[in-house]
A and B are shown apart, each in its own frame.
Chain A
Amino acid sequence: MATALRLKELSKKEDLFTHGHRLCAGCGAPIIVKMVLLASDYPIVACSSTGCLEVSSCISLSTAWKIPWIHSAFENAAATIAGVETMYRSLKKQGKIDKDIKFMTFCGDGGTYDIGFQSLSGAMERGHDMLYICYDNGAYMNTGIQRSSATPFGADTTTSPAGSVIPGKLQQRKDLTKIMAAHNIPYAAQASPSHWLDLMKKVRKALEIKGPKFMNIISPCNRGWRSKTDDAILLSRLAVATCHWPLYEVEYGVTKITFKPKEKKPVVDFLKSQGRFKHLFSPENEWLLKKFQEDVDIEWERLQKEASLYAP
C-alpha cells in the first residue's frame, strides 16, 4: 500500500535529503527535493548536473543524499542517468535484479534549459524510463546570478544588468515545459513547492508511467531574486496565483490545468517584492511592466484554450 499523501502519514517517512547540506537559508531547491523523494514509495536513484544543489549537497566527503546519487558534468545529467537506467534494464533482463527502481535527475535551469538541453532532448527521444526534474530558479545562481534562458523578461542579473539604457533581460524565457511536451513524451508537468499536494501527486503519477517524464518546478532563490529569506513559499504561491507559473500537466498529449486560481492576481504582486524587478517600477519602465503582464495573459489564455480542447 502506498503511503497516503497526508501530512500525518508523510511526517512518519524518512527524509531522504538530510540536514547538513550547504544550500542557502530560504532556498527552494531542498524543499522541492524533499517533497519529491517523500512522494515516492519506490527506491530512487538520482543524478544531478553541476549547480547549487549538487555543489551544496556533496561539498566535502559526505553527502546529504540518502539515496544512490551521482553527479555528472554540467551538460550531461540526462545522459548519465540514461546510462544508469539502461544498465538497470539490462540487469533486470538478465535476472540479476528484481527490485522496481525509479530513476530521476535533479538539475537547475542552467543545466536543463541551456547547456543540458541537448542531452535532455536526446534522452527523452530515446525513451528512457526516467523522470527529469528541473528546479527552475531562473538564473545561474551558483556562479553569481548570470542570466539563463529561464530568466524572466526584464530581470536584472549580472550579465543582463539593468541600467539607464538597457532595462535588464530583453528576451522572454524559454517555455521549456511546452518544449518537453512537444517531444511527445508520456508526461510533462509544471509544479510549485507552494502547492505541495499537487506537486507530490504529479511525482506519483509520473513514477507510475513507463517512459521519459519531465517536471519543471519553480524554485525561489532569495540571493538571485533579491527577496526576503523567508519568502520562498510565498513567492512560489504568487507565481502560481498570478499565472506567471501555471500548474498544469500534459499526459499523453492531453493538457490539463491542475490548479486554476479563483481570481487571477496581477503579475505585479509577484514582481514587487523582488529586487531583480525593482527597476521595472520606475516610471520610464512602465511599458516593461505592461509587456510582462501582456505576455503572462497571452500564455495563460493559450494554455486554457489548449486545456479546453480536452475538457470533459
Chain B
Amino acid sequence: MNKKVLMKGNETIAEAAIQACCRFYAGYPITPQNEIPEYMARRMPEVGGVFIQAESELAAINIVYGASAAGARAMTSSSSPGMSLKQECISYLAGSELPAVIVNIQRGGPGLGNISGSQADYFQAVKGGGHGDYRLLVYAPYNLQELWDITMLAFDKAEEYRNPVMILGDGVLGQVMEPFYPTPYTKPELPEKDWILDGCKGREPRVIKSLYMGEGELEMRNNLLQKKYKKMKDREVKFESYFTEESEVLVVAFGIAARIALSSVRRLRREGFKVGLFRPITLFPFPERELSILAGENRRFLTIEMNAGQMVEDVRLAVNGRSDVLFYGRLGGSIMTPEEVQKKILEIVHYRPHLSKTTFPN
C-alpha cells in the first residue's frame, strides 16, 4: 500500500486510526473536523468497528472513557469549543490512567469564534485544560505525512503510558489535501493490558477510578502520575531543526505556523541570511533541553504562532534569559504569509541596538 495517496487532513487522521487498529470512535459534529466522524461513520462498519455519534462532546468523550476501560483502542475528535466541553473527562481519563486518542482541530476563539485554523488552544492542550495536576502527551504535526505517522504513533503511546494523547491540529491541517505515503502500521511491543475491566471470573477484581479519599492516598497517586510525566519528558521529546547551528535568528514554531515559517527561512537562507527554524513536534513534553542548548548571546529567537503568544512562554523558560526571545502572531483564525514572517525575521536580522533609539521590534 506504499503508493502515494491524496487525502484530506481530517480523513488522513481517520484512516490512519483505522490502520492503527482503532476500532472505536465516538464524536459529535463541529466544524472544521466534521470529516473525521463522517469518514468513521462510513468506514468503521466496513472493518467491524464502532462509530457512535453522541448527543454532545461531553457524551462522546465519556463514551470513549467507557470503551477504553473495557479495553478498546478508542478515539474522539473535536474542535476548540467542543474541546472545552471535553475537558472534565480528559482530566478523568488522566486520573484513571486510561489510554485514548483525542484530536483537536483548532479553530479561532474565544467563544464560538470562527471556523478557520488557529493555534490558540496551546495552553489548554499543554498545561492541562481540565482540573488537577495532569499532562497529556501532545503532538503537533505540520503536514499530512507527519499527521498520518503521528496518528498511528499516538495510539501506541497512549497504551504504553496509559495516558490520553492529544493530536493538536488546526483548521488548515484538517482541511488541506496533499499527497503522502501511507506507511503501513506495525504494532510495537506494548505492555499487556492487565488493567481492563472484562469480567473478573477466575481472577482478582480490578478497579478503574480517580477517586482517592484515604489519608495521603491521592498524594501518592499524584506522585506516581508525576513520575510517569517525568518519564515522558525523558523519552518522548520530538522535534525537528533546520539550519539551527549556524543561525543568528532562530525561528521557533509548531504545526502549520512552522510550515509557513519554514518557507520563509528557506528563502532567506538562499539569500544568504543566517536564519534557522526549530520545530517542536511534541508540545508536551516540550523540547526544553534542546532549545536551551541553542540559547546564547549571539542568537536571537523569534517565536511564530497563530495566537497571542502561548508557546513563546515555554521558549522563554527554556532559553532562560540567555537570548532575546521575540514573538510574532496572528489572532482569531488569521494566518500569516511567508512574506510576513520573512519581513519580521529581517527586522530582527537588521536590528542593531547601539544604532537604534527604538525599542526592539515586537
Contacts and interface: CB of A to CB of B under 8 A. Distances in A.
Given A143-B29, A146-B38, 16 more contacts: A50-B112, A113-B55, A115-B55, A143-B30, A143-B34, A144-B31, A144-B34, A146-B29, A146-B37, A147-B53, A149-B55, A158-B38, A159-B41, A161-B41, A161-B42, A165-B45
A75 B41 contact: no
A10 interface: no
Interface string B54-96: 0111000000000000000000000001000100000000000
A158 B30 CA distance: 13
Given A114-B56, A115-B55, A147-B53, A158 B41 contact: yes
Interface in A101-116: 110, 113-115
Contacts of A117: 55
Contact of B53 (A50, A113, A142, A159): A159
Given A117-B55, A143-B30, A146-B29, A71 B42 contact: no
18 contacts: A50-B112, A73-B112, A74-B81, A75-B85, A115-B55, A115-B57, A140-B29, A142-B31, A143-B34, A146-B34, A146-B53, A149-B55, A158-B38, A159-B37, A159-B38, A160-B41, A160-B53, A166-B45
A149 B56 CA distance: 11
Given A50-B112, A160-B41, A161-B41, A143 B55 contact: no
B58 to A, nearest CB: 8
Nearest to B79: A143
A293 to B, nearest CB: 26
A144 B51 CA distance: 17
B348 to A, nearest CB: 35
Contacts of A114: 55-56
B45 A159 contact: no
Contacts of A283: none
Contacts of B57: 115
A163 interface: yes
Majority SS at the chain A contact face: loop
Contacts of B34: 143-144, 146, 158
A163 B29 contact: no
Interface in A132-186: 140, 142-144, 146-147, 149, 158-161, 163, 165-166
- The listed residue with most A CB atoms (<10 A of its CB), out of B38, B55, B57, is B55
Interface string B31-52: 1001001100110010000010
- The listed residue with most A CB atoms (<10 A of its CB), out of B29, B34, B41, B112, is B29
Given A147-B53, A149-B55, A71 B112 contact: yes
A166 B42 CA distance: 10
Nearest to B30: A143
Interface residues of A, number: 24
B116 to A, nearest CB: 14
Contacts of A163: 42
Contacts of B85: 75
Nearest to B112: A50
Contacts of B41: 158-161
Contacts of B38: 144, 146, 158-159, 161
Contact of B29 (A73, A110, A161, A165): A110
Nearest to A166: B45
Interface string A194-228: 00000000000000000000000000000000000
B29 A75 contact: no
A50 B29 CA distance: 12
Contacts of A142: 31
Nearest to B54: A114
Contacts of B30: 143
Q: Rank and list the top 10 A-B pairs by shortest CB-CB distance, nearest first.
A: A143-B29, A114-B55, A115-B56, A159-B41, A146-B29, A140-B29, A158-B38, A159-B53, A144-B34, A143-B31
Given A159-B37, A159-B53, A144 B29 contact: yes
Interface string A259-287: 00000000000000000000000000000
Contacts of A75: 56, 85
B36 to A, nearest CB: 10
B191 to A, nearest CB: 34
Contacts of A115: 28, 55-57
A149 B55 CA distance: 8
A74 B56 CA distance: 9
A45 B225 CA distance: 50
A274 B45 CA distance: 25
Interface in A41-76: 50, 71, 73-75
A146 B53 CA distance: 9
A295 B53 CA distance: 23
A115 B81 CA distance: 13
Nearest to A159: B41
Nearest to B27: A159
Contacts of B112: 50, 71, 73
Interface in A222-263: none
B42 to A, nearest CB: 5
A113 B56 CA distance: 11
A140 B57 CA distance: 14
Contacts of B53: 146-147, 159-160
B55 A159 contact: no
A79 B51 CA distance: 31
Nearest to A144: B34
B82 to A, nearest CB: 9
A144 B30 CA distance: 9
- The listed residue with most A CB atoms (<10 A of its CB), out of B45, B53, B56, B81, is B53
B37 to A, nearest CB: 5
Nearest to A72: B112
Nearest to B57: A115
B215 to A, nearest CB: 36
Nearest to A157: B41
Contacts of B28: 115
A76 to B, nearest CB: 11
A60 to B, nearest CB: 11
A140 B30 CA distance: 9
B142 to A, nearest CB: 26
